Every structure is written in structure tokens, then in C-alpha cells.
Structure 1
Amino acid sequence: MESLWLDTSPAIETDPFVPGGAYDTIVVGAGLTGLATAVLLARGGQRVAVLEARRTGAVTTGNTTAKISLLQGTVLSQIARHHDVSAVRAYVAANRTAQEWLLSFCAAAGVDCETRDAWTYAVTSDGAAALTQERDACRAAGLPVECTTETELPFRVEAALKLPGQAQFHPLQALAALAGELRSHSGTLVEGIRVKEVHHADSGRVRVVTEPGDLEAGQVVLATGIPILDRGGYFAVVKPQRSYASAFPVKGDVPEGMYLSADSPSRSLRTATVNGTRYLLAGGNGHPVGRSAHTRYRVTGLHEWTRRHFAVDEARYDWSAQDYSPASALPYVGELPLLGRSIYAATGFNKWGMTNGVAAAASLAARILGEEDPNAGLYKAKVSFPDAVSTVKDNAEVGLQMISGWAGGLSRTAGGEPPEGLGVVVREGGSPVAVCTVNGVTTRRSAICPHLHGVLAWNDAEASWDCPLHGSRFSADGKLLEGPAVRGLDPA
């Protein structure tokens, strides 16, 4: 599975890795958050290097629906349930400033951004009730949302909120422009380098450990979706969610606005014109990572829903994205607690990284450069006691997944090779072993996630092994794809 964005990405020039290098700041992760942070630091006169384990935009940014919107489903009412109205206003203000920065950057760099109305809609009475709460939160925060039941959708809705003047774009074009500006400031962008550890050196600087060699920096920013280090405890207070998207060539009238449902299963819609072909992008059918059997049915279900309602051809692209829902309903941004001095992180963007990622970058760059944080008082780095309490249920589910995974993995003895495209966890030599067949090749690896030892589940939509505990993901042959783990699967 590859996204429309990654398949049509412009060429992004990168640099060779030079072991032993020293920098003012090293940014780990070349998505929107990482590259925006790096550009802001380079503008401030710093010598910056960005290290990406795979390719630029390979994880969340390259798999987003790329809506640059202040109307974000039911996010504001979620924040209002956890915080007072001042936090909701501060969140909107931070996202508005980030939206303005990103649109201004794209305009200057020649990246096309299309202005669109953003919509959140409901087709059930429960969804309509949720929209009432979202309307109140929006208006309290100063967002001029309109309430209506008249939309472009070809089916009846119970309620809808509309916010004009939002935007959408091709995210890899924006990353290419950011990478170009970074390199114009003598910054470095290196792909294919996975960071395995970050720790403080005797020199007082921060040492970044990679397989080809170590680097040193004054500060390190972890812009990896979820931080790869466990010192902040973020893996326990953000919930990894997997969702799916498809791009369908358009053959008739389709909605021009950016739509998101308040009901479950979620549905997201927007258009995109790439290389002369106009697409309708449909997304949704999300679930906690590693906790859904036969994920391919979520993709085919999305196809069936879209083709039933809209004038489109068969899907040309299918992909998925991983997002992290924060316990506090606000992202965690700042210097890592628990021995994290000079090590910064940003996580928990709750599916709205196009604005939150840029807002986080502004906060991180300001703190590192010794300037006033434009979002002071909003984003916190430390996990609070209420956050921990609010995740009791989620962490109980994690515990059950740990128990059930080990019980299941030790109860099934090895049999024949799985059919093409399927994987199974079996017992071999008293341990859970992940066995799968992809492209005619059967592979056996340890089924134990190297992060915190959860037993993996097979994702048949993406031919990957996914951890149901904290969202680490691995390819069929055991290579690390994403998540808090820092290495691949052990041999069986």
C-alpha cells in the first residue's frame, strides 16, 4: 500500500551520513513537524541535521488526508471536557497561527494550496448531539461555524457544521519545499538512518546513536509520531490508532468541501488533482493498532461505501496512517521529563498534525533558541496525574492484550505454511513465532515486540506485524516500520 502523496512526491534532495558530526540540534524524523522545526532553527542561525529512518514523509505526513483546518471533527469539545474554555481558545489560536504560517510558507515556496470549506457532519441522532457540543466549543473559542443540514453530500444528514476558508494541499510538495529551505541554510537531511538511542555524553552534549555511527548535538528533537524513547512515559498516555484511505478517480460530480463525520465508523472526504487526474479521497474505518482482525475488510468496506455514494472509478491508491490520541486531549510538546534535559519531543496530534505539527515546531524552536514560546501554557511535556488516571481503561486493555497475545501465541502449535498474504502466531520452541507468506516467501520471526514484549498481530491489509500494546509495526520480514520500538524483530 502506497499513498497518492508518496507515489507522486517531487524529488527531495538529501545528504550523505557523516559519522562523528556535531550539530547545534539534531531532529529525528522528516515529517512536517521535524522539517518545520529544523527550518525554524536554521533560520535562527543553528546548524541542524534531520535524520529519517526511511524516506522523507514516509510515516504520518505522507499518509495524511492533508487538511489544513481549524474545524477538526469533534476535537474542541473533547478538549473542553478535559480543560476550561481558555485552553480551547489557546488551542484554536495556536492552530490558527500555525495554519497562517504554513499557508504563507507554501505561497512563498510555490506550493499550491486550495481553499475549501471544512465540514463536520452527522447522520445519527447521537452524532447530532455531539455536533451540538462541538458547535458550543467552537463558538466559545471564536470559530464562526455555521449550523445547517444542507450539504453537498448525496445523502441526508441530521446536522452539520461548516467553517469556510480552510485549505488542503499535497503534503509531500510542502515537505520538498521545507527540505529545500533547510539545505539552503546549510542544514542536513539524511534518509535511511535509524536512531537507536539518545543519551547525554560526558561533554554535556547529547549523543545520538545510529548503526553507521554516532553524532553529537546540543539538543535533540524527537519528531517521530510517538517518541522512540520511553523516558517521558508517552506510550502509556497516547493511544495509537490506524485508519485507512483510498483515492478514486472522479467520473462525475463529487463534493468540493472537506468532510469528516462525527459518527462511527468515521468517514473523511476531500478532492485532489494530481498529475492531471482528479481524485476523491475517502478515509476512515479506524481502529486501535493491532486490535482488528482481517483489516483488509476495512479497506474493501471503504471502497464499497464510496462507490455506492459517489461517481468514481475503482480505487487507484489505498493506504493507511497511524495517529496518536492524547489522554489530555492536547498534544504533548516540550523537553522530555525524566532525565530528558536537552531532549525534546512532540506527540499526540490526534489526527490533526498539519496544524498541530507546525504549532509544535514553533514552540520547540522558540524554546531551543531561547525565545518566547508563542504557545506557552498550552502544550505540556510532562504527563500529569489526571492524564495517567484517564488512561486506566486503555492500559487495562493493553494488559489484556498482553495476556491474550501470549496465551494465544503459546496455544497454537506450528502447522503448515500460511496461505499467500496471511500470517499467524504459533508456538515454536516454547515461544511465540510470527509466520507469514508474502509474495511467495514464507518468513519466520519472533512474534515478540522488542519495545515492551507484546505479542504481535498480523495486519493483512498492509502485510505487516502490528503490536496491540503501543503501536510498533514491522514488515513481513521483521524490519521496523514505526512506533516506539527502535529495532526490528529477532530471528525465530
Structure 2
Amino acid sequence: MTAKNASLWLDRPRPAANPPIPDGSRVDVVVIGAGLTGLCTALELSRSGATVAVLDARRAGSVTTGRTTGKISLLQGTKLSQIAARYPRDVVRAYVDANRNGRRRLLDLCRGFGVPVQIETAYTYVTTPGGTAALADEFEAASGAGLDVGWNDPSDLPFPVTGAIALAEQAQFDPVDLVEALVHALRERGVPVVENTRVRSVSRGLGRTAVHHAGGSLTADRVVLATGTPILDRGSFFARLEPRRSYCLAVAGVDRPPRGMYLSADSPTRSLRYVPTADGELLVVGGNGHTVGRGGATKPRVADLIGWTGRHFPGGDVTHMWSAQDYHSTDEMPLVGGVLPGDDRILVASGYDKWGMTNAAAAADMIAARIRGEPREWAKPFDPWALSRAPRSAAPTLELNAAVAVEMAKGWTAPLVRSRSSTPPEGTGHVHAGVPVPEAVCTVGGRTHRVSAVCPHLGGIVRWNDAERSWDCPLHGSRFTPEGRLLEGPATRDLSGSDCVADLRGK
């Protein structure tokens, strides 16, 4: 069986996209991004009586939401102990309360829309003696925040573990089922969900904010950036967020996939869950994460994940392979609030650190409540400009941006010692010196493409991702197709340059 290079959740016929929104339209709120955060925010606001429009550069749910593992869990690996290491216990409890609220809202939406959900126990486990200390820290943080966690030996796993903690009554689902239900519900309420419409910029005027997109513009009182990482550089959120990418497989034919949802606390990370389908259960395996554009070739990471799966779950066939991108906040807490301090005209939600299901619904509720003037009591630690966050983010932020500076320097100096070379072999790409800027060259599907290697966001030099055949920026995570078209990240424009210079098919 040949595996599809596609997300399991997105491998389906999609409903027709909405027609473009008329140029010059006016609404109360424009939501940019039709993932789970944006769609839940739009529904909350619409139910409150606001007029809303949703814009997405691609199809709804096709970026982060449609590439997750679909776990709705309050036990999130070692997330709570990471927060507890930086903040007092009340902040950890606020994070749990917000996520508990998000979990409840998601499950209510699934019940209301008839979206199937499996209620399962979530496990955080370790396979090495050295990992037990991290597990004990997570148990203490979770217990202190009011979660009914317990020590457990997950007998379903086909390999030995040295410890595990468990939280019952968590959930898993197909996230695109909910995305499509939300899009349908919004359109029935008269809320346009406009896909394939990339926002280029946002400008503020007297009393109204203009959103400029590829087909024109519209104005609103408020704008919500639900784009994974903010596409506006105001507030310098790119300096507080580290883009991280990880890999997933769907596997058919595994004899009795484990019940429950599993995540390892030691490295390399392994995530496991089952998926019920009409043709039998699939096993979803995830892991091998890294900072986008860094850490060398990506194909070995996918190969390692396939090899590990084959050793522990023999007899299965990989049906789908995909990857996901999310953003880790330097101070561990998600960022939900104004893009600038004291200004709620543009609001942002980001930094979920791969726990975007519960955090997305929680952020949507926080943003909608903030717009209504009814802030949630647990929302304060999420505010990007809360004074309590500053001292806890200073050192990690400096460290993150020092690494970015190193990557910037490496990207610009490496092409100086690499002359223009011959056509790259199929599936490969490289960057070499060019005039006036370095050139990114790759060959995919028999076509050789030459584009500028300079990311239009802040001038980083892109690198070839051989597993996904994309150009990835190692600074802030913008990604581009072989032809230079923008896929995701803080950039809002394509790589400049010609589309292709040779066609080698049949030669």
C-alpha cells in the first residue's frame, strides 16, 4: 500500500468554498483564520448578536487544526509542570480552568452538531528511569490544579514503560468533522466563511479597522488574528513564539490498537491514539518534533517514526503521512489578548504548544467575552501584556532570538561559499549565491524551480524540507511550496522569482 502524503482528517471531499465577500463590506468583527480558534470565535460572537466575517488563506481547517492528533485532553504531556516551574499555583489552576472550559465547550458543540467523539483515558508515560522525575512533577502540578490524576500502568502498550499517570474521561475526535459542522452552522447564521482569500495587511483608522486581502478590503470595529502565529508584526509576537513541526502517521491493519490516548514525556516524543473508521480501526502515531527549518534533513525523522511503529506494531500498513505546525510561547502560557497593550481593536490567540483543541475553544470564549466587556476570571494570565509574564519570559525570549540571529547569519553566509550548481536531482533542493539575493532551487515532479531564497517576512534564508518538499524559514516558521507560494507562517507574500525554468519529465 502506498501511503498518501496527506492528513488523515483532510483526505475527504470538501464542500464548495463560499463566494468572495464584496469589496468594501462592513461588519462588527473580522476573524482572520478558519481553524478551530477562528470558527469558534465567530460562532460565539454571532450568537451574541455581532455581525462577523471569517477569512482564510486556504480551506477551513486545512493548516493546524486539520493536522493535529485530535485529542481533547486536560492531561497534556508535561505542560502543567512546565507552567508550574515558571508561575505560582494560581496560574496553573487558571490554565486548567480555561482548558476545562474549552473542553466542555468543544464537547457541547460536538453533541449539538452530531460529531462523533470517543471518551477515553489520557496517559502521560515514560520509558526510561530518568523520565520518572518529570512524571512526578506533572502529577504534582496536575493534582495541585484540581485534576483527578492517578498513577497507572498502561497494559495496552506493546513496549515496557517505567511509569505513567492517567486522567479518565478525556476525549478524541476527527477535528475536521467539527470544522465542517462549524462552517455550515456559521453560513446558516449568515456569517460568510470566505476561503482561499489571503489577508495582506490590516490598517487602523478613526473608529474602524480595514482588512486588506487579495480581492479587496473590508472594515470592522474589531479584528481577531486566529492564524496560528500573528500575521502582523505589531507587538513583535514572532519574537515570543517558536515554530515547531512534528510528524504523524495513520496505520491500518494493526491488531488491537491501544485504547486511550498516550503521550511520552521523554524523548523522542511518541503520541498514540486509535481512530474508528468504516473499514476498521486505524492507529495514529506522532512525534519527532523540531524547530521549523532547523535540525537537518526531515526525511530521516519520518523514516524513524515509520521504523519505530513497525517494530512495536508489526503487520500494519501506513495509509497517511503528514505533519503539523504549532507555536510554543517562550513563557509557556498561550497568548490571548490585544496585539498591542491597552488596545483591543486587534486581538490575537497563539502559543498553544500543540494543545490547540482545548486551548482554541478556551481562547475563542476569552476573546468573545472580552469583546462583550465580560472578561473571564481565568483570562488574565493569558494576556500577552500581563505584567506577571514579563520577568518569566525575558531570558527564554533572549535565548530564542539569539538562536534566530544565528540562523539569520548562517543563512546569508552559507550561499556565499556555494556557487551556482547543476540542476538538483528529483525531490531535492538547495540554496546558492545569486544576484542580487541567494536563490532557492529545487526539482519536484520533473520541474526545476528557481525562486528568491529570502523569506518576505523578516529576510531569513529558507531551507529545503525534503520530507514535505517545501521551503521552510528557520527564523519564524514561514513555509512555501517548491514554486515559492506561501503555505503558512507570519509571512503574507510568496517568495519572489520565476515559477520554473525547466521541465525534465520524460527525459
Whether TM-score is above 0.5 comes out as yes
Shift of 1:233: 1.2
Residues 335 and 9 of structure 1, relative CA distance in 2, 3 Å threshold: farther
Instruction: Confirm or deny: 8 A CA contact 1:239 1:470 kept in the other structure.
Output: yes
Task: Report the Cα distance in structure 1 between the residues aligned to 2:358 and 2:451, rounded to whole angstroms.
Answer: 39
Indicate the larger mover: 411-420 or 10-19: 10-19
2:224 corresponds to 1:221 = yes
Instruction: Confirm or deny: 8 A CA contact 2:201 2:232 kept in the other structure.
Output: yes
Task: Report the Cα distance in structure 2 between the residues aligned to 1:246 and 1:150, rounded to whole angstroms.
Answer: 22
Indicate the larger mover: 316-325 or 124-133: 124-133
Who is 2:394 aligned against?
388
Of residues 438, 441, 446 in structure 2, which corresponds to 1:440? 446
Write the deviation string for residues 341-380 of structure 1: whole angstroms up to 9, x where unpaired: 4000000001100000100000000111222325332311
Who is 1:324 aligned against?
327
Which consecutive unaligned segments of at least 5 residues does structure 2 have?
499-507
Instruction: Confirm or deny: 8 A CA contact 1:362 1:374 kept in the other structure.
Output: no
Instruction: Confirm or deny: 8 A CA contact 1:280 1:312 kept in the other structure.
Output: no
- How many residues end up aligned between the 2 structures? 491
Of residues 221, 232, 247 in structure 1, which corresponds to 2:250? 247
Of residues 146, 156, 171 in structure 2, which corresponds to 1:167? 171
3-state DSSP of counterpart to 2:287: strand
Which consecutive unaligned segments of at least 5 residues does structure 1 have?
none
Shift of 1:278: 1.8
Equivalences for 1:101-112 in 2 at 5 Å? 101-112=105-116
One-letter amino acid matched to 2:105: W
| Identity within the alignment, % | 48
Shift of 1:186: 1.1
3-state DSSP of counterpart to 2:21: coil
Shift of 1:125: 1.9
Indicate the larger mover: 348-357 or 288-297: 288-297
Task: Report the Cα distance in structure 2 between the residues aligned to 1:262 and 1:461, rounded to whole angstroms.
Answer: 25
One-letter amino acid matched to 1:327: T
Equivalences for 1:40-439 in 2 at 5 Å? 40-201=44-205, 203-337=206-340, 341-382=344-385, 384-439=390-445
Indicate the larger mover: 79-88 or 8-17: 8-17
Task: Report the Cα distance in structure 1 between the residues aligned to 2:440 and 2:280, rounded to whole angstroms.
Answer: 40
Shift of 1:328: 1.4
Indicate the larger mover: 53-62 or 330-339: 330-339
Residues 209 and 430 of structure 1, relative CA distance in 2, 3 Å threshold: closer
Shift of 1:394: 1.6
One-letter amino acid matched to 2:88: D
Instruction: Confirm or deny: 8 A CA contact 2:250 2:284 kept in the other structure.
Output: yes
Task: Report the Cα distance in structure 2 between the residues aligned to 1:196 and 1:140, rounded to whole angstroms.
Answer: 44
Instruction: Confirm or deny: 8 A CA contact 1:289 1:466 kept in the other structure.
Output: yes
Residues 118 and 486 of structure 1, relative CA distance in 2, 3 Å threshold: same
Instruction: Confirm or deny: 8 A CA contact 1:72 1:352 kept in the other structure.
Output: yes
One-letter amino acid matched to 1:491: G
Who is 1:481 aligned against?
487
Runs of 4+ more than 3 Å apart: 338-341
Shift of 1:340: 5.2
Shift of 1:338: 5.9
Who is 2:502 aligned against?
none
Instruction: Confirm or deny: 8 A CA contact 2:254 2:283 kept in the other structure.
Output: no
Instruction: Confirm or deny: 8 A CA contact 1:12 1:176 kept in the other structure.
Output: no
Shift of 1:155: 1.1
Task: Report the Cα distance in structure 1 between the residues aligned to 2:475 and 2:14, rounded to whole angstroms.
Answer: 35
Aligned residues: CA RMSD: 1.5
3-state DSSP of counterpart to 1:428: coil
Of residues 427, 450, 453 in structure 1, which corresponds to 2:456? 450
Task: Report the Cα distance in structure 2 between the residues aligned to 1:342 and 1:12, rounded to whole angstroms.
Answer: 32
Task: Report the Cα distance in structure 2 between the residues aligned to 1:76 and 1:213, rounded to whole angstroms.
Answer: 43
2:38 corresponds to 1:34 = yes
Q: TM-score, normalised by structure 1?
A: 0.97
Q: TM-score, normalised by structure 2?
A: 0.94
One-letter amino acid matched to 2:306: H
One-letter amino acid matched to 2:495: L
Task: Report the Cα distance in structure 1 between the residues aligned to 2:315 and 2:364, rounded to whole angstroms.
Answer: 38
Instruction: Confirm or deny: 8 A CA contact 1:52 1:191 kept in the other structure.
Output: yes
